[in-house]
Structure 1
Amino acid sequence: MAERRYEYAPASTLPGLLQRGRGLGALMAAEDPAAAADLVYGCIRWEWRWDRQVDDRHLYLARLVRDLDLPLGPIVEQLAAAEDTCMRAARVLELLALDGSTEARDALNAYVQDGEHRELVLESVESMRSMADAPAPTRRTWADPLPERDSASLLAMLADPDVPENAKATALRALSRRAPEPALIPLVPTLGAADGTCQLPMLGRAVDVLGEQAVPAAREWATSDRPWLAGLGLVVLAGHGDESDLPTVLNELERAWVAQEWCGPDTLARGLARFGPRAADAASLLRRFWLWTPHSYERSAYLEALGALGAAGMDEAYTESLRDCEANARLLAVRRAPDGPRVRERLAYLRDDPMEEPEVREAARVRLAGVTS
């Protein structure tokens, strides 16, 4: 079991900022490293990622340890803790070793000799080494899994109540790789899982291919008392609806804020971004999500939407995000932060940091080359 605390400190405090991986937390910690030390160690000791499958903290925390010149002893001690804590400490030490820390490298080498979780740590270390030496990954594309079947037969599979759910999911995957099939639209309400709690896998992608064609039906789906169908309808309206759908999308975003549903509003934010300044009424709400969400993976979507809406304070938001825990947020900030000595200094830092993601390093290099040429 992960050692995790769900009671996040307010986002206006240093503990809350560090727990969320916000750039402002790194800036505030630098003002008093000694006072921030225990908070940084605590963010390694305890699991603060909202979704540890996608949220990132390791690079953020490794940078704090390095830039604040914090002793590594308390992190090395965490290698002897439970598996989840051990692995968080190991990931931070791996990055510091990549940066050239002999102490971090020696601690990892010692641990993999006889540590309780040595095999997991060794696998993680070897994976990081291979990634450091490998070229940047290419975007994965999915092939049609049923090229021998025409779309009409796939739709017939979806309409047949006796076809197993996994077979229907494969049919939906195939349709998502093909030209739009409007005949899918009336079938959508029947394509929930048997327990009624969610949609079948790949349904969202197959519907997204339909684009604006699905909007009239999506307006009805959005009013459904089945959460999965209502959610799908809202996603379609956010991604493909017109200005008349803005109130519906805004109402859902407000509902998610009140309920503190941190997973999913990024999709609504991206939809609002399509409308630019016409969705300016959403700026305050989007800013609240950007400031407060513990689900850091979604933060870049709020940042991008705020920029598209022409919200006030974006220069400060982009500058802060140069220190964000999420690579997507840093990448956006590298491209949009206002020019100036401090921004150039940070861009050089990102360009030259061996711990940084290759895409961010390259973007920083290109940006600096452009402003100094």
Structure 2
Amino acid sequence: MSDEYAMRYAHPESVEGLLQRGRGLGAIRALQDPREAAVFVYDGIRRDWRWDETDDRSLYLARLVQDLELSPTPVVDQLAGDKECCLRACGVLELLALAGSDEAWDALRAYIRDGEHWVPVLESVSAAWPAEWWEDLGDVARARIGGEAELPWCSEPWTGFGIEVRSRPSVPHPSPAGLRTEELLTLLADNCTEDAVKFHALRVLNSREPAEELIPLVPSLGTADGRRPLPPLRRAVERLGAAAVPAAQGWAEDERPWLAQLGAEVLADHPGPEALPGLVEELARQWAARTWCGPDRTARRLARFGPDAADAVPYLRRFWLGTPHSYERTAYLEALAAIDRDGLNYVYTESLWDCEERARLLAITSAPAGPEALGRIAVLRDDPMETPEVRTAARARLPAPSGLRLS
């Protein structure tokens, strides 16, 4: 996003600015005056206010359309725009259909029959909807695919329709998903194992308990050209926590830039007491420069100091209130909770309406047991648009009434 575009964000305390940032308070205030908020909700679908592609908005906006009882028609009309505009509308409409909107359901199916960007729309709805909602469109897909300049990359839903897809040349490898952790580590230690296999092995490891046996293998897990680490390695090392610090002292002095940088990051993520003033100053500089990408890492480092990092609290609060980079908002809340929990009950409750799944998950477990929070958790528990992870967490916090079975 360019600086020119970023400067167009409205004030973070206004309804428009709150909605642009995906704040929970924006949804709450929009419900208080649906007529005023409607134009900002539609604008949030028409224009992409996400700071980058990691930020979430589709569910937030779809829920606003439903809760404010807005017409889906302007969103349907947006399907006729360029590809990005069309797909933003698609993301909202497919959720509204899950919530029971016949207009949204009909519009997307009609677009697949006649619309310009029907290929990515069909791929999107096939991933989001039950199969019986789209599998009858096979005849449409087979009739239209011949008019496309290129075959699609994705295998579904195309192979189910008997449509050929493009494929990248590759050598088949057994999936590492079924291997034991010891076997995955053996794969990673073998210099003959291809990068693609190591990549998948690291991804599988990242879904399991951290294995300290990975630490001595880290220097060998760069890409074949030696220029960077395999993409899942940073996350794997991060999950090892302080156990990686002794080895990281050696990595930080390595002649390979990627390993030296990784070692420096590990050491910075586990600072000693002498680093605290500098981290507070760093966060202050980031706020003064309105640096929206990266202060979440500074916040996580400060959180390790607990109450000793009290001088960082004003900046953490400002970032949580004002950042347009909604993905980082949860890190600021987690740091505040580690340093000073004063006043966070309201913040947790507001976060039940946040656009980010991570924020809603944290709020479900941490919000006080007041009527507003429990009522909202019940909504999240029962919402067909909500993610499975959030519904599961909501059921754990607030089980369904006796006799009510949830999917």
Q: Taking structure 2 as the reference length, what is the TM-score of the superposition?
A: 0.71
Change (3 A) 1:216 1:126: closer
Change (3 A) 1:141 1:278: farther
Check the 8 A contact 1:22/1:324 in 2, yes or no. Answer: yes
Counterpart amino acid of residue 48 in structure 2: E
CA deviations on 1:177-208 (whole Å, 9 max, x unpaired) are 864688899x89xx999999x87756645764
Out of 27-36 and 83-92, give the one that drifted further: 27-36
Residue 31 of structure 1: how far off its partner (Å): 1.5
Change (3 A) 1:194 1:335: same
CA deviations on 1:34-83 (whole Å, 9 max, x unpaired) are 1111111110000111112x211000000110000111111111000010
Residue 114 (structure 1) aligns with = 114
Check the 8 A contact 1:20/1:293 in 2, yes or no. Answer: yes
User: Secondary structure in 2 aligned to 1:80?
Assistant: coil
5+ residue gaps, structure 2:
134-176, 403-407
Change (3 A) 1:293 1:371: farther
1:361 is the counterpart of 2:391: yes
Matches within 5 A, 1:1-373: 5-7=5-7, 8-52=9-53, 54-129=54-129, 179=212, 201=231, 204=234, 208=238, 212=242, 235-369=265-399
Change (3 A) 1:126 1:104: same
Looking at structure 2, the residues matched to 149 and 192 of structure 1 have their Cα atoms a distance apart, in angstroms, of 15
Residue 106 of structure 1: how far off its partner (Å): 1.1
Check the 8 A contact 1:273/1:308 in 2, yes or no. Answer: yes
Check the 8 A contact 2:238/2:266 in 1, yes or no. Answer: yes
Check the 8 A contact 2:212/2:243 in 1, yes or no. Answer: no
User: Secondary structure in 2 aligned to 1:262?
Assistant: coil
Looking at structure 1, the residues matched to 264 and 285 of structure 2 have their Cα atoms a distance apart, in angstroms, of 12
Check the 8 A contact 1:215/1:241 in 2, yes or no. Answer: no
Looking at structure 1, the residues matched to 364 and 178 of structure 2 have their Cα atoms a distance apart, in angstroms, of 27
Change (3 A) 1:266 1:365: same
User: Secondary structure in 2 aligned to 1:55?
Assistant: coil
Counterpart amino acid of residue 124 in structure 1: S
Check the 8 A contact 2:27/2:64 in 1, yes or no. Answer: yes
Residue 6 of structure 1: how far off its partner (Å): 2.5
Residue 239 of structure 1: how far off its partner (Å): 2.9
Check the 8 A contact 2:185/2:214 in 1, yes or no. Answer: no
Check the 8 A contact 2:381/2:391 in 1, yes or no. Answer: yes
* RMSD of aligned Cα (Å): 4.2
Looking at structure 1, the residues matched to 236 and 381 of structure 2 have their Cα atoms a distance apart, in angstroms, of 39
User: Secondary structure in 2 aligned to 1:277?
Assistant: helix
Looking at structure 2, the residues matched to 79 and 283 of structure 1 have their Cα atoms a distance apart, in angstroms, of 44
Residue 86 of structure 1: how far off its partner (Å): 0.5
User: Secondary structure in 1 aligned to 2:79?
Assistant: helix
Residue 355 of structure 1: how far off its partner (Å): 0.7
Residue 325 of structure 1: how far off its partner (Å): 0.3
Residue 253 of structure 1: how far off its partner (Å): 2.3
Q: Taking structure 1 as the reference length, what is the TM-score of the superposition?
A: 0.77
5+ residue gaps, structure 1:
134-139, 158-165
Aligned residues: 350
Residue 165 (structure 2) aligns with = none
Check the 8 A contact 2:10/2:17 in 1, yes or no. Answer: yes
